[in-house]
Homo-oligomer: A and B are copies of this chain.
Amino acid sequence: MKTRDDCLALDAADALAGLKDRFELPPGVIYLDGNSLGAKPRTAAARAAEVIGREWGNDLIRSWNTAGWFEAPSRLGDKLARLIGADEGEVVVTDTTSLNIFKVLAAALRIQQRDQPSRKVIVSERDNFPTDLYMIQGMIDFLEQGYELRLIDADLSLEDALDADAAVLLLSHVNYRSGAMHDMARVSGLAHERGALVIWDLAHAAGAVPLALTADGADFAVGCTYKYLNGGPGSPAFLWVAPRHMDHFWQPLSGWWGHSNPFEMSDRYDPALGIRRFLCGTQPIISLSLVECGLDLALEADMQDVRAKSLAMADLFIELVETRCADHPLTLVTPREHAGRGSHVSFLHPEGYAVMQALIARGVIGDYREPELLRFGLTPLYLSYADVWDAVEILRDVLDSRAWDKPEFRTRAAVT
């Protein structure tokens, strides 16, 4: 049976412990929602002041050149590439995950249209993050070219879904609800064997688990910089394309920034070679610039150390919840096997919404997802083992005292 002193001992031996002070977290808060919105790097405020004061206010339009605004999506992309097993020139930071799904899905369908035009099925999972499904539905509806969406669920396995009609497989690497993680190499290999291309949504994976896009044979990937990469609320997303696909197709969101020579002001779109053709319109420079603060911190840590601490914290969290809150109806939905999960842990509780609100009121910030799901993100860069202990103690107290059983904790907020 573990004690809080055991946790303190783990913290004393933690190679990543020094990074916690590089983030600024409010006093009295144990933040277990870095899987939804990452914490603020201490450098963010100064960087924003520089972009707003010097780059915008003083240098004005000249900053497109002097502050490197034009190169920023690629410069940040090159840094991010190191965290996802990709190379320089293969990643851009731009737009939103939803929009980037549209771009890479369009590119993937075009490749299949050329090579295997009879394949008209886009495969995903019913419990994939909804926006992934919505973007697929929007494209199918818009194209009117006979595509259909096929969803893997309790009644349909991945293996069965990948039949001779499957054009593209779009999966989240780590599931936003359960935290379950796919084996990227195995699934990519299976998709290719069956003739499908594979798009990975890394929203809950980038910065959370070691990734090897190239080695694992992925075709396309998109992801988020404001969760485990700590880029700030709604910071621009990223997009990766395997070099073998990069220059073959002009994706339909073909704005000026993706043009081969945008300042020539030609009336005809001519896509840039390489990853830049996946850029579209003018990016939100201030939000984009702050992505670098989070990336620089992530790059200071070894992803293998991050993964080891993430798994150890999650193991600890699960063990403590299952022992210290054993009298309460909490059901673990995250896979126990290390290889099968990402960096957050989810439990079901019949009063999940109210329990989470009561936890938040006590300073333990996780989040809630319909139905009944309590999510706890375990972010190695700014959480300690003692934090995990303390969070479970507060959870236990909230449950033992039925502190959640109050009207104010049952009232749904606009955003859950």
Contact = CB atoms under 8 A, between A and B. Distances in A.
A60 B269 contact: no
Nearest to A45: B52
A50 to B, nearest CB: 11
Interface residues of A, number: 99
Contact of A226 (B151, B259, B282, B370): B282
Interface stretch (A10-18, A247-255, A394-402): A247-255
A259 to B, nearest CB: 7
Contact of A61 (B37, B236, B264, B284): B37
A258 to B, nearest CB: 8
Given A64-B415, A252-B139, A255-B135, A284 B280 contact: no
- Copies of chain A in the complex: 2
A256 B264 CA distance: 36
Interface stretch (A186-194, A238-246, A285-293, A310-318): A285-293
Nearest to A176: B265
A233 B69 contact: yes
A367 B58 CA distance: 16
Contact of A142 (B126, B252, B266): B252
B138 A236 contact: no
Contacts of A59: 26
Given A64-B415, A71-B414, A135-B253, 6 more contacts: A26-B57, A40-B52, A95-B96, A96-B283, A131-B281, A151-B267
